C-alpha cells in the first residue's frame, strides 16, 4: 500500500501541471498566444524526452545496487524539481527544470521493478495490477487536483504543496519499504553487460515485441488526448466545455481503475501474452465507435469501455517481462520498456495532431484503432514464431 500511495502522488505530479501550464507560462510576461502554446508543448514534452534516455540507466543501477536507493533518489529529486518550479520567473528556467525532472522520472518503473522482483511469478500480474491502480489513479485525478489547488492557492503554492506531498510519500518508502537482497542475484547482476542485455532481448522475439507494444500503445492512447476538448466542442454546445472534456478524459481512467487488477489476475491464470492479445482487439473495437459518437454521453461510454480494455495492458506487459527476463537484468529491461512508453508519450500527440490537421479529428480514432490491430498482428506473429522456434529446438 505504501508503494501504491507513492505511485499515486508521483503519477499525479506528472499531470497536475496540465490544467494550468499555459496560464503559468503566461504569468511570466506579456507573451503572444502562439508563444505560450509553443512553449507549453516544449515544457510539457521535454521531461518525457529526457526520461526516455535515463530510464534504462536507473534500471541498470537498480539491478546492481538495489531499487530502494533509486526510489529515494528519484522521489526526492522529483520533489525538489517541483518545488523549484514554483519559484521560477522565466519560461526557459521552467523548461530546464522540467528537463531535470525527466532525469529523475524513474520512480514508477523502479517501483514496479522492485515489487516485481520480490513477488512470486504466479501472482505477479495481480500484484502489479494493484500497484498500477495507484499510477492510474494519479494520472486520473492529477489534473483535477492540480486545477483545484491552482484556483484555491495559486500556481506557486500548488507546486510547493505537491512537492511536500511527494517528499512525504518518499519518506514513507524510506522507512516503510524493506528490499530483500539476494546475495546470489547481486553477484549475477555484475556479469550482465549492456550488450548481453540487448542480446537477450533480441534473442527473445516475443519479449522484444512486447516492449515495442509499449511504444505503440502510448502513441495510440496519447494521439487523441490533446484533441479531446476540441472533439467535445463538436458534440455539445454547453458552456462548461473544460469540465465536459475532463469528464470524457476521466472516463478512460475510471475504466482503467476498475479493470486493471482483474486483467493482471487473468494473466496470471492463462498467460500474459494471451490477455494482451484480447486487450489489443478490445481496445480497437472500443475506440472506433468514438469517431461515430453523435452525443457526448456516447463518447463518454465508449471512453469508459476503452479504459477497461487498455487498463490491463501495462501490468500484463510488466508481468511478462518479469516472467521472461532474468532477475539480475529485469530493472534494465523494464527501464527500456518505460523508455519506449515515454517516447510514445511524445510521439502520440504529434501523430494525432498531424492526422487531425490533414483529415480531421474523427480520423484519429480510426487510425488509432488500426494501430491496436497492428499491435495485435505483431504479437500474434511473435507468439507463432516463438512456438515454432521452440519446437525446432526441441527436435
Residue 97 lies in a domain: yes
183: pLDDT strictly greater than 70: no
- Per-residue pLDDT tens for 128-163? 667 767 776 776 677 667 767 777 788 788 888 888
CA distance 180 to 189: 15
In this structure, the answer to whether residues 237 and 298 fall within a common structural domain is: yes
Q: Give the residue from 177, 206, 240 where a domain finishes.
A: 177
The total of other beta-carbon atoms located within 10 Å of residue 32's CB is: 8
Contacts of 164 (CB under 8 A, 6+ apart): 79
What average pLDDT is seen over the chain? Answer: 79
* Residue 330 lies inside a defined structural domain of this protein: yes
pLDDT of residue 377: 92
Do both 207 and 154 map to the same domain?
A: no
Instruction: Give the mean model confidence (pLDDT) for residues 372-390.
Output: 83
What counts of helices (H) and strands (E) characterise the chain? 18, 0
**What are the φ and ψ backbone dihedral angles of 118, each rounded to 5 degrees?**
-110, 15
pLDDT at 282: 94
Q: Are residues 129 and 247 in the same domain?
A: no
User: Is residue 50 included in any domain, yes or no?
Assistant: yes
Contact (Cβ atoms closer than 8 angstroms) between residue 343 and residue 56: no
247 with 340, same domain? yes
On whether both 104 and 160 belong to a single domain, the answer is yes
Q: Which residue, of 139, 154, 177, is where some domain finishes?
A: 177
Exposed (0-12), middle (13-18) or buried (19+): which is 187, by Cβ within 10 Å? exposed
The CATH number given to whatever domain includes residue 125 is: 1.20.1250.20
Residue 122, pLDDT score: 66
Mean pLDDT of 166-177: 87
Pair 275, 344 in one domain: yes
pLDDT of the residue at 281: 93
Instruction: Show which of 152, 177, 202 is a domain's final residue.
Output: 177
Is there a domain that residue 182 lies in?
Answer: no
Distance CA 97, CA 253 (A): 28
Query: Does 169 share its domain with 234?
Result: no
The grid coordinates listed for 202 are 533480441
Question: What is the predicted pLDDT for the residue at 189?
Answer: 44
Whether 34 maps to a domain, the answer reads: yes
The C-alpha angle with vertex 394 and arms to 388 and 395, in degrees rounded to 5, equals: 95
Q: Both ends of the chain: CA-CA distance in Å?
A: 47
- Per-residue pLDDT of 33-58, as tens digits, reads 778 867 877 887 788 788 888 877 88
Are residues 244 and 103 located together in one domain of the fold?
Answer: no
Judgement on whether residues 164 and 198 belong to the same structural domain of the protein: no
Is the residue at 257 inside a domain? yes
- Give the pLDDT band (50/70/90) at residue 188: very low
How far are the Cα atoms of 280, 331, 344 from residue 361, in angstroms, in the given order? Answer: 22, 38, 19
Determine the Cα angle at 81 with ends 78 and 87, to 5°. 145
If DSSP codes are grouped into helix, strand and coil, which group holds residue 29? coil
> Are 76 and 125 in the same domain?
yes
Give the rounded percent of residues in the chain with a pLDDT score beyond 90: 8
Residue corresponding to grid cell 542475484: 185
Q: Which residues of 58-73 are buried (b: 16+ CB within 10 A; e: fewer)?
A: bbbbbbeebbbebbbb
**Res 179: pLDDT:** 74
Q: Which three cell numbers stand for residue 125?
A: 500480474
pLDDT tens per residue, range 240-282 = 665 677 677 778 878 877 888 888 888 888 888 889 999 999 9
Q: Are residues 202 and 262 in the same domain?
A: yes
> Within a domain: residue 37?
yes
Q: Which of 81, 91, 80 is nearest to 36 (CA)?
A: 91
Residue 187 has a pLDDT of: 45
Q: 3-class SS at 30? A: coil
**In total, how many domains does the chain have?**
2
Half-sphere exposure of 84 (CA within 13 A, CB side): 17
31 found inside a domain: yes
317-363 pLDDT, tens digit per residue, is: 878 887 777 777 777 787 788 788 878 877 887 788 778 777 888 88
Query: Which residues constitute the domain of residue 335?
Result: 191-395
The overall longest dimension of the chain from CA atoms, in Å, is 73
Is residue 276 located within the same domain as residue 132?
no
Complete DSSP assignment for 100-120: HHHHT--HHHHHHHHHHHTS-
Q: What is the mean pLDDT of residues 216-229?
A: 77
In percent, how much of the chain has pLDDT > 70? 85
Q: How far apart are CA 41 and CA 281, in angstroms?
A: 31
Contact 10, 107 (CB under 8 A): yes
Can you give the pLDDT at residue 186? 47
**Pair 235, 241: CB distance under 8 Å:** no
Amino acid at each position: 500500500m505504501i508503494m501504491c500511495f507513492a505511485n499515486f502522488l508521483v503519477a499525479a505530479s506528472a499531470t497536475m501541471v496540465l490544467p494550468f501550464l499555459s496560464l503559468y507560462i503566461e504569468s511570466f510576461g506579456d507573451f503572444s498566444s502562439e508563444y505560450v502554446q509553443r512553449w507549453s508543448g516544449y515544457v510539457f514534452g521535454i521531461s518525457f524526452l529526457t526520461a526516455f534516455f535515463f530510464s534504462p540507466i536507473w534500471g541498470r543501477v537498480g539491478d546492481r545496487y538495489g531499487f530502494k536507493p533509486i526510489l529515494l533518489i528519484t522521489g526526492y529529486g522529483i520533489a525538489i524539481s517541483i518545488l523549484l518550479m514554483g519559484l521560477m520567473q522565466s519560461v526557459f528556467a521552467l523548461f530546464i527544470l522540467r528537463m531535470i525532472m525527466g532525469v529523475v522520472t524513474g520512480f514508477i518503473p523502479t517501483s514496479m521493478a522492485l515489487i516485481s522482483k520480490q513477488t512470486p511469478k504466479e501472482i505477479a500480474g495481480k500484484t502489479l495490477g494493484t500497484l498500477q491502480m495507484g499510477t492510474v489513479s494519479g494520472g486520473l485525478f492529477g489534473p483535477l487536483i492540480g486545477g483545484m489547488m491552482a484556483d484555491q492557492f495559486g500556481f506557486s503554492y500548488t507546486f510547493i504543496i505537491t512537492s511536500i506531498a511527494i517528499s512525504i510519500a518518499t519518506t514513507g518508502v524510506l522507512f516503510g519499504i524493506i528490499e530483500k537482497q539476494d546475495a546470489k542475484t547481486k553477484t549475477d547482476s555484475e556479469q550482465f553487460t549492456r550488450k548481453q542485455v540487448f542480446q537477450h532481448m533480441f534473442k527473445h522475439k516475443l519479449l522484444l515485441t512486447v516492449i515495442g507494444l509499449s511504444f505503440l500503445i502510448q502513441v495510440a492512447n496519447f494521439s487523441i488526448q490533446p484533441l479531446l476538448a476540441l472533439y467535445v466542442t463538436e458534440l455539445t454546445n454547453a458552456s462548461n466545455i473544460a469540465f465536459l472534456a475532463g469528464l470524457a478524459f476521466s472516463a478512460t481512467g475510471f475504466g482503467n481503475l476498475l479493470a486493471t487488477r482483474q486483467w493482471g489476475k487473468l494473466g496470471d491464470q492463462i498467460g500474459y501474452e494471451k490477455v494482451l492479445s484480447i486487450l489489443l482487439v478490445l481496445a480497437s473495437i472500443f475506440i472506433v465507435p468514438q469517431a461515430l459518437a453523435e452525443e457526448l454521453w456516447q463518447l463518454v461510454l465508449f471512453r469508459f469501455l476503452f479504459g477497461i480494455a487498455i487498463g490491463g495492458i501495462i501490468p500484463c506487459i510488466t508481468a511478462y517481462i518479469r516472467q521472461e527476463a532474468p532477475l539480475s537484468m529485469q530493472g534494465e529491461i523494464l527501464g527500456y520498456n518505460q523508455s519506449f512508453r515515454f517516447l510514445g508519450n511524445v510521439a502520440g500527440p504529434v501523430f494525432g495532431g498531424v492526422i487531425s490537421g490533414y483529415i480531421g479529428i474523427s480520423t484519429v480514432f480510426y487510425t488509432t484503432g488500426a494501430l491496436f490491430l497492428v499491435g495485435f498482428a505483431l504479437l500474434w506473429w511473435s507468439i507463432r514464431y516463438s512456438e515454432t522456434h521452440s519446437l525446432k529446438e526441441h527436435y
